[in-house]
Amino acid sequence: MKKAIFPGSFDPITLGHLDIIERGVKLFDELIIAIGVNADKKYMFSLEERKKFIEDSFKDEPKIKVVTYKGLTVDFCLKNNVDFILRGLRNPADFEFEKAIAHTNRDLAPIETVFLLTAAKTSYISSSIVRDVIRNDGDYTKLVPETVRVQ
């Protein structure tokens, strides 16, 4: 059984994340969307809200599981028999950043990282851009799934 994790803070989940998840779920028997908890980070949405946004987006997809975790992603993978980490790439800067993390993860554990390029129509979307649009009362609804459109 091929299990993968798609880790992130998802603050909030965006259409770019959705694109990677919808394409990634076709590659694996199980895709775990794992919301990392970082006590040093200040989030716009609570952990419960972020988890609910994702669960509601994929309520009809049995191959997707949504969890939260603390600590290293590779430790989560080892504890849960996950062999793959799924990551999305929007641009060359993402690639350089993700490449360094993938090499580090591979040094720490026998985990492969699989990269998918985001679709051109969502490649400009990031959670930080969405948060900025929300903070400034802009129309963020074109950037996120319907489950996030709660304000």
Active site residues: 17, 41, 90, 127
In this structure, the strands spanning 64-69 and 84-89 are unpaired
124 marked as binding residue: yes
26 marked as binding residue: no
57 marked as binding residue: no
43 marked as binding residue: no
The C-alpha atoms of residue 15 and residue 22 are separated, in whole angstroms, by 10
69 marked as binding residue: no
41 marked as binding residue: yes
- Contact status, residue 130 vs residue 143, Cβ threshold 8 Å: yes
Binding residues for substrate: 9, 41, 73, 87
Binding residues: 9-10, 17, 41, 73, 87-90, 98, 122-128
Binding residues for ATP: 9-10, 17, 88-90, 98, 122-128
